[in-house]
Amino acid sequence: MIEDVSTYSRRGIHGHVVNELGLQITRGVFAPGEVIDPNELLQTFGVSRTVIREALKVLSTKGLVDARPKRGTFITERSRWQLLDGDVMRWRSEGSPDLLLLVELGEVRQAIEPMAARMAALRRDDVQLSAMGAALQDMDDWDGVRHETIVAADLAFHSGLLKAAGNELLEQFEVILEPALQARDFLTHSHNPDRSFFQRHKAVFDAIENRDPDRAQTAMQDMMTAAVSDAELALQQTVAGTEFLRNRQSALGQVAASSNVIG
Protein backbone atom coordinates (compact mmCIF):
# COMPACT_ATOMS: atom_id res chain seq x y z
CA MET A 1 0.00 0.00 0.00
CA ILE A 2 1.01 3.62 -0.19
CA GLU A 3 3.54 4.61 2.47
CA ASP A 4 2.22 7.56 4.44
CA VAL A 5 5.15 9.61 5.68
CA SER A 6 3.03 11.43 8.26
CA THR A 7 2.39 8.26 10.25
CA TYR A 8 4.56 6.69 12.87
CA SER A 9 7.01 4.11 11.67
CA ARG A 10 6.04 0.55 12.47
CA ARG A 11 9.62 -0.54 12.06
CA GLY A 12 11.91 -1.09 15.02
CA ILE A 13 11.15 -1.92 18.64
CA HIS A 14 10.07 1.59 19.52
CA GLY A 15 7.67 1.76 16.55
CA HIS A 16 6.29 -1.67 17.42
CA VAL A 17 5.48 -0.66 21.00
CA VAL A 18 3.88 2.64 19.90
CA ASN A 19 1.83 0.80 17.33
CA GLU A 20 0.62 -1.98 19.63
CA LEU A 21 -0.33 0.39 22.44
CA GLY A 22 -1.98 2.81 20.00
CA LEU A 23 -4.08 -0.01 18.56
CA GLN A 24 -5.09 -1.28 21.99
CA ILE A 25 -6.07 2.16 23.27
CA THR A 26 -8.05 3.15 20.18
CA ARG A 27 -9.76 -0.26 20.08
CA GLY A 28 -10.94 0.16 23.66
CA VAL A 29 -8.76 -2.51 25.31
CA PHE A 30 -8.09 0.09 28.00
CA ALA A 31 -10.87 2.33 29.33
CA PRO A 32 -10.49 6.13 29.61
CA GLY A 33 -9.05 6.97 33.02
CA GLU A 34 -7.39 3.56 33.37
CA VAL A 35 -3.86 3.80 34.76
CA ILE A 36 -1.09 2.15 32.77
CA ASP A 37 1.49 0.28 34.77
CA PRO A 38 4.88 0.70 33.07
CA ASN A 39 6.20 -2.41 34.82
CA GLU A 40 3.48 -4.50 33.24
CA LEU A 41 4.37 -3.06 29.83
CA LEU A 42 8.05 -3.90 30.42
CA GLN A 43 7.04 -7.53 30.88
CA THR A 44 4.50 -7.63 28.07
CA PHE A 45 6.85 -6.21 25.47
CA GLY A 46 10.16 -7.37 26.93
CA VAL A 47 11.79 -4.02 26.19
CA SER A 48 13.73 -1.46 28.21
CA ARG A 49 12.20 1.20 30.42
CA THR A 50 13.50 3.84 28.01
CA VAL A 51 11.58 2.30 25.12
CA ILE A 52 8.34 2.30 27.15
CA ARG A 53 8.91 5.87 28.30
CA GLU A 54 9.54 7.05 24.73
CA ALA A 55 6.50 5.19 23.42
CA LEU A 56 4.23 6.76 26.04
CA LYS A 57 5.66 10.15 25.14
CA VAL A 58 4.65 9.65 21.49
CA LEU A 59 1.17 8.52 22.55
CA SER A 60 0.78 11.59 24.74
CA THR A 61 1.50 13.88 21.76
CA LYS A 62 -1.42 12.14 20.04
CA GLY A 63 -3.62 12.83 23.07
CA LEU A 64 -4.12 9.16 23.95
CA VAL A 65 -2.39 9.18 27.33
CA ASP A 66 -1.47 11.75 29.93
CA ALA A 67 0.55 11.65 33.14
CA ARG A 68 0.09 13.24 36.56
CA PRO A 69 2.38 13.09 39.57
CA LYS A 70 1.23 10.34 41.98
CA ARG A 71 -1.46 9.11 39.55
CA GLY A 72 1.01 8.05 36.89
CA THR A 73 0.23 7.53 33.20
CA PHE A 74 -3.42 7.04 32.31
CA ILE A 75 -5.68 6.74 29.27
CA THR A 76 -7.31 10.06 28.39
CA GLU A 77 -10.95 10.76 27.53
CA ARG A 78 -11.75 10.15 23.90
CA SER A 79 -12.52 13.86 23.39
CA ARG A 80 -8.79 14.57 23.82
CA TRP A 81 -7.60 12.15 21.15
CA GLN A 82 -6.08 13.70 18.04
CA LEU A 83 -8.55 12.08 15.69
CA LEU A 84 -7.04 13.60 12.55
CA ASP A 85 -3.58 12.27 13.35
CA GLY A 86 -2.49 9.81 10.67
CA ASP A 87 -1.58 7.08 13.17
CA VAL A 88 -4.77 7.44 15.23
CA MET A 89 -6.72 7.23 11.98
CA ARG A 90 -4.79 4.15 10.91
CA TRP A 91 -5.20 2.39 14.28
CA ARG A 92 -8.95 2.86 14.02
CA SER A 93 -9.23 1.80 10.40
CA GLU A 94 -6.83 -1.12 10.02
CA GLY A 95 -8.19 -4.62 9.89
CA SER A 96 -11.76 -4.57 11.10
CA PRO A 97 -12.54 -0.84 11.09
CA ASP A 98 -14.23 1.13 13.83
CA LEU A 99 -17.84 1.62 12.56
CA LEU A 100 -18.11 5.16 13.88
CA LEU A 101 -14.92 6.10 12.01
CA LEU A 102 -16.23 4.51 8.84
CA VAL A 103 -19.51 6.42 8.90
CA GLU A 104 -17.94 9.69 10.00
CA LEU A 105 -15.32 9.53 7.26
CA GLY A 106 -18.10 9.12 4.71
CA GLU A 107 -19.86 12.19 6.10
CA VAL A 108 -16.69 14.29 6.06
CA ARG A 109 -16.04 13.28 2.46
CA GLN A 110 -19.61 14.31 1.56
CA ALA A 111 -18.97 17.70 3.13
CA ILE A 112 -15.58 18.28 1.50
CA GLU A 113 -15.24 16.59 -1.85
CA PRO A 114 -18.07 18.20 -3.88
CA MET A 115 -16.65 21.66 -3.10
CA ALA A 116 -13.13 20.44 -3.78
CA ALA A 117 -14.30 19.17 -7.19
CA ARG A 118 -15.78 22.60 -7.92
CA MET A 119 -12.50 24.30 -6.99
CA ALA A 120 -10.50 21.80 -9.04
CA ALA A 121 -12.63 22.61 -12.12
CA LEU A 122 -11.76 26.27 -11.66
CA ARG A 123 -8.09 25.95 -10.74
CA ARG A 124 -6.58 22.71 -12.00
CA ASP A 125 -3.49 22.84 -14.20
CA ASP A 126 -2.65 20.34 -16.92
CA VAL A 127 -0.19 18.36 -14.79
CA GLN A 128 -2.82 17.90 -12.05
CA LEU A 129 -5.42 16.94 -14.63
CA SER A 130 -3.17 14.32 -16.19
CA ALA A 131 -2.42 12.80 -12.75
CA MET A 132 -6.17 12.38 -12.25
CA GLY A 133 -6.45 11.08 -15.82
CA ALA A 134 -3.81 8.41 -15.15
CA ALA A 135 -5.72 7.24 -12.06
CA LEU A 136 -8.92 7.11 -14.10
CA GLN A 137 -7.15 5.08 -16.77
CA ASP A 138 -6.00 2.60 -14.10
CA MET A 139 -9.63 2.19 -13.00
CA ASP A 140 -10.67 1.63 -16.61
CA ASP A 141 -7.89 -0.95 -17.16
CA TRP A 142 -8.63 -2.80 -13.92
CA ASP A 143 -8.54 -6.57 -14.37
CA GLY A 144 -11.35 -7.07 -11.84
CA VAL A 145 -9.10 -9.27 -9.72
CA ARG A 146 -6.49 -7.52 -7.61
CA HIS A 147 -8.58 -5.18 -5.50
CA GLU A 148 -5.48 -3.39 -4.09
CA THR A 149 -5.08 -1.99 -7.60
CA ILE A 150 -8.53 -0.44 -7.67
CA VAL A 151 -8.14 0.94 -4.12
CA ALA A 152 -4.80 2.52 -5.11
CA ALA A 153 -6.29 4.02 -8.30
CA ASP A 154 -9.25 5.36 -6.35
CA LEU A 155 -6.94 6.89 -3.75
CA ALA A 156 -4.77 8.48 -6.46
CA PHE A 157 -7.87 9.94 -8.13
CA HIS A 158 -9.25 11.57 -4.98
CA SER A 159 -5.94 12.82 -3.63
CA GLY A 160 -5.15 14.18 -7.10
CA LEU A 161 -8.44 16.05 -6.98
CA LEU A 162 -7.67 17.55 -3.58
CA LYS A 163 -4.33 18.78 -4.97
CA ALA A 164 -6.01 20.23 -8.05
CA ALA A 165 -8.37 22.21 -5.79
CA GLY A 166 -5.42 24.49 -5.05
CA ASN A 167 -5.90 24.89 -1.31
CA GLU A 168 -3.07 23.58 0.84
CA LEU A 169 -5.26 23.00 3.89
CA LEU A 170 -7.67 20.96 1.82
CA GLU A 171 -4.76 19.01 0.39
CA GLN A 172 -3.96 17.76 3.89
CA PHE A 173 -7.36 16.15 4.14
CA GLU A 174 -5.69 13.43 2.16
CA VAL A 175 -5.11 11.90 5.62
CA ILE A 176 -8.78 10.87 5.69
CA LEU A 177 -8.81 9.31 2.23
CA GLU A 178 -6.68 6.22 2.69
CA PRO A 179 -8.44 5.02 5.86
CA ALA A 180 -11.81 5.84 4.29
CA LEU A 181 -11.10 3.86 1.13
CA GLN A 182 -9.49 0.96 2.95
CA ALA A 183 -12.31 0.74 5.45
CA ARG A 184 -14.83 0.72 2.62
CA ASP A 185 -12.80 -1.98 0.91
CA PHE A 186 -12.97 -4.07 4.07
CA LEU A 187 -16.66 -3.42 4.55
CA THR A 188 -17.77 -4.29 1.06
CA HIS A 189 -15.45 -7.34 0.97
CA SER A 190 -13.05 -7.19 -1.93
CA HIS A 191 -14.85 -4.07 -3.16
CA ASN A 192 -15.99 -5.32 -6.52
CA PRO A 193 -17.04 -2.16 -8.28
CA ASP A 194 -19.22 -2.42 -11.34
CA ARG A 195 -18.96 -0.18 -14.38
CA SER A 196 -20.93 2.61 -12.68
CA PHE A 197 -17.98 3.08 -10.31
CA PHE A 198 -15.76 4.03 -13.25
CA GLN A 199 -18.52 6.12 -14.89
CA ARG A 200 -19.02 8.21 -11.76
CA HIS A 201 -15.32 9.04 -11.61
CA LYS A 202 -15.25 9.78 -15.32
CA ALA A 203 -18.15 12.23 -14.95
CA VAL A 204 -16.19 14.17 -12.32
CA PHE A 205 -13.04 14.04 -14.42
CA ASP A 206 -14.79 15.25 -17.59
CA ALA A 207 -16.30 18.23 -15.77
CA ILE A 208 -12.91 19.17 -14.30
CA GLU A 209 -11.25 18.76 -17.68
CA ASN A 210 -13.88 21.06 -19.23
CA ARG A 211 -13.54 23.55 -16.39
CA ASP A 212 -17.21 23.25 -15.52
CA PRO A 213 -17.52 23.87 -11.73
CA ASP A 214 -21.28 23.27 -11.44
CA ARG A 215 -21.13 19.94 -13.18
CA ALA A 216 -18.01 18.87 -11.24
CA GLN A 217 -19.70 19.64 -7.93
CA THR A 218 -22.91 17.82 -8.87
CA ALA A 219 -21.07 14.79 -10.22
CA MET A 220 -19.00 14.51 -7.04
CA GLN A 221 -22.09 14.96 -4.88
CA ASP A 222 -23.70 12.05 -6.75
CA MET A 223 -20.59 9.92 -6.23
CA MET A 224 -20.49 10.65 -2.48
CA THR A 225 -24.21 9.93 -2.08
CA ALA A 226 -23.73 6.59 -3.83
CA ALA A 227 -20.74 5.83 -1.57
CA VAL A 228 -22.67 6.55 1.64
CA SER A 229 -25.61 4.54 0.37
CA ASP A 230 -23.33 1.57 -0.49
CA ALA A 231 -21.67 1.77 2.93
CA GLU A 232 -25.04 1.78 4.69
CA LEU A 233 -26.21 -1.20 2.67
CA ALA A 234 -23.04 -3.10 3.54
CA LEU A 235 -23.36 -2.17 7.21
CA GLN A 236 -26.92 -3.46 7.26
CA GLN A 237 -25.61 -6.90 6.41
CA THR A 238 -23.95 -7.25 9.80
CA VAL A 239 -25.57 -7.35 13.23
CA ALA A 240 -23.21 -4.72 14.67
CA GLY A 241 -23.67 -2.47 11.64
CA THR A 242 -27.47 -2.73 11.77
CA GLU A 243 -27.45 -1.88 15.45
CA PHE A 244 -25.14 1.06 14.82
CA LEU A 245 -27.29 2.48 12.01
CA ARG A 246 -30.49 2.10 14.02
CA ASN A 247 -29.16 4.70 16.43
CA ARG A 248 -27.93 7.16 13.89
CA GLN A 249 -29.62 9.59 11.53
CA SER A 250 -28.33 8.89 8.03
CA ALA A 251 -26.37 11.66 6.38
CA LEU A 252 -28.54 11.02 3.34
CA GLY A 253 -31.47 12.54 5.20
CA GLN A 254 -33.34 9.40 6.20
CA VAL A 255 -33.14 7.36 9.35
CA ALA A 256 -31.41 4.24 8.09
CA ALA A 257 -34.05 1.59 7.60
CA SER A 258 -33.16 -1.52 9.55
CA SER A 259 -35.92 -3.34 7.65
CA ASN A 260 -33.61 -3.50 4.64
CA VAL A 261 -31.37 -6.07 6.28
CA ILE A 262 -30.02 -8.50 3.73
CA GLY A 263 -28.79 -11.80 5.08
Q: Which parts of this chain interact with Zn ion (CB under 5 A)? A: 154
For Zn ion, give the closer residue by CB, 65 or 220: 220
How near is the Cβ of 124 to Zn ion at its closest, in Å?
A: 17
How near is the Cβ of 14 to Zn ion at its closest, in Å?
A: 35
For Zn ion, give the closer residue by CB, 17 or 181: 181
Exposure string for 178-215, b = 16+ CB within 10 A, e = fewer: bbbbbbbbbbbeebebeeebbebbebbbebbbeebbeb
For Zn ion, give the closer residue by CB, 75 or 208: 208
How near is the Cβ of 238 to Zn ion at its closest, in Å?
A: 23
For Zn ion, give the closer residue by CB, 154 or 178: 154
For Zn ion, give the closer residue by CB, 18 or 183: 183
- Please give the residue whose beta carbon sits closest to Zn ion in the complex: 154
How near is the Cβ of 154 to Zn ion at its closest, in Å?
A: 4
How near is the Cβ of 167 to Zn ion at its closest, in Å?
A: 20
